[in-house]
Structure 1
Amino acid sequence: MTDIKAERHKARQQKVKEAVDAKVAAATIERGVLMVITGNGKGKSTAGFGTVTRAVGHGKKAAVVQFIKGGWDCGERNLLEGVGVPFEVMATGFTWETQNRETDTAAAEKAWAVAETWLKDESLDLILLDELTYMLSYHYLDLERVLTALKNRPPHQHVIVTGRNCHRQLLELADTVSEIECVRHAFEAGVKAQPGFDF
C-alpha cells in the first residue's frame, strides 16, 4: 500500500512539475514590473521593504519615497540608508494628526516631485512608493500625473506601490496586485505599535 501511495504521489508531483516548467519556459519577457500591495491588513509596507532589501542584496539600486509616514524612527530606513538607499520622506505624519489639507497637499507634491525625478532615472532598478494610494484617494496628487510617470518610467525599472484603497486605474495599470486581508490585528486588542516589529 505504501508503494502505491508513493507512486501516486510521484505521478501527481510530476504533473505539477510539468505544469510549472511549462509556465517558466513561457515567461520570456524581461522588463520592469509595477506591483501594487493593497488591502486592509498589516504588512504592505513591510512586504515592499522586503523587496527593496532583496534588490539591494542582488546589487541593484533602489530608492524609497514614504508618503503619510512621519519623521520618526523607522527600522527599514535605518538599515537601508546605511547601505546607500536614498529616501524621500513626506514627514508630515498621519493625515488625521495634521488635519491640514493645504500643508499635506504641499508635502505630497514635494515628495512626488522627487518620485518623478527617480521615475526617470535609468540608474534606479527599483522604487518603493510607500503609502502612495492615500495621496490619490485624498486627492493630494493628480491621478493622471501619477499614471503618466509610472507608464513612462525606464523599461527595466520596477515600482512597488503600497497602501489601502488603491485607485481602480492604478490597479488596472499594475502587472502584479497583492491584497493583504486583515483577519486580526493586535492593536485592536490594545497592543501598542512597537519598534522592531511595527516600525
Structure 2
Amino acid sequence: MTEQTSDDNARHAERMARVQSARKKMMAKKTRTKGLIIVHTGNGKGKSSSGFGMILRCIGHGFPCAVVQFIKGSMHSADRELLKERFADICQVHVMGEGFTWDTQDRERDIAAARRAWEKAKELIRDPLNRMVLLDELNIALRYDYLDAAEIADFLLTEKPEMTHVVITGRNAPDRLIEIADLVTEMQEIKHPFRKQGIAAQPGVEF
C-alpha cells in the first residue's frame, strides 16, 4: 500500500471539496418530481429483484404500492411471499401468470392470462393512491405478442397518474417502451453459474 503523505491528503481534500461544490450546484437545479416509467431489461440477472427492491423501498416510505406478475407467477417467490405475508396492508400482490411459456405450451391460454394481468395492472395504475406499480415480466408477454406494446405505451402516457411510478421488467423490452420510459437499465450477463458451472437455481439468490 502506498504511504499517504500530508500533501497527498491535502490535495485529496481539496479535490473532493471541488467535487462536492459542483454536485451541490447541480442538485440545486434538480427540483422537479414526477411519476416515472422505469424499464429493467437485458439478458442479465436481477431485473425482477431490482423491481421488488424498489417496491420494498416504497413500503419503507409508507407509500401504497402494487405488484402484478405476468409470466412466472406460478413459481415460488420469496420476495412475493414476504410482501403477501407481512405487507399486505400497503402492497397488493397479484399473481396472474401461469408459468413459463415452455411450461404451459398453450398460446391461447397464455394470451388470456396476459390480458387478465394487464386489465388488473390498468386498474392498479389508475388508482392515484398507489405510488408504484411493478409489472413483473411484462416484457416477456410483449415479446411473444400476447399484448400490444403500442397499447400499453399509449395507456401509460395518457392515463397514468402524474405521481405514479410504473416499473416494467423482463428481457427484450420493445422499442416503444424504451422510447417512452424515463429510466431504462439494461442488465448485461457477463458470467452466470448456471451456464459456466452447471449450478442450479438456489433459494435466496434466484427465488
Deviation at 1:11, TM superposition (A): 1.8
Equivalent position SS for 1:150:
helix
Q: Is the 8 A contact 1:71 1:92 kept in 2?
A: yes
Q: 1:36 Cα deviation (Å)?
A: 0.8
> Gaps spanning 5+ residues in structure 2: where?
none
Residue 14 of structure 1 and its aligned partner are, at CA, apart by: 1.5
Q: TM-score, normalised by structure 1?
A: 0.95
Matched, 1:157 2:170: no
Residues 101-149 of structure 1 show CA distances to partners (whole Å, capped at 9, x for unaligned) of 1111010001100001111101100000111111111111112221122
SS at match of 1:32: coil
Mapped partners of 1:76, 1:168: distance in 2: 29
2:135 is equivalent to residue 119 of structure 1: no
Structure 1 residue 88, shift from structure 2 partner:
1.7
1:18 aligned onto 2:21? yes
Q: How does 1:45-194 map to 2 (within 5 A)?
A: 45-82=48-85, 83-84=87-88, 85-151=91-157, 152-188=159-195, 189-194=197-202
**What is the TM-score when the length of structure 2 is the normalising length?**
0.92
Q: Which runs of 5+ in 1 are unaligned?
A: none
1:37 partner SS: strand
SS of equivalent residue, structure 2 residue 108: helix
* Partner SS, residue 4 of structure 1: helix
Residue 23 (structure 1) shift? 2.1
1:119/1:149 contact within 8 Å kept: no
| Residue of structure 2 equivalent to 1:3 | 6
Aligned-residue offset at 1:187: 1.3
Deviation of 1:155 (Å): 0.4
- Deviation per CA, 1:166-196, whole angstroms, max 9, x where unpaired? 1111111111111111111111121111222
Superposed structure 1 runs of 4+ greater than 4 Å apart: none
Q: Distance in 2 between matches of 1:39 and 1:19?
A: 33
Q: How many residues align?
A: 199
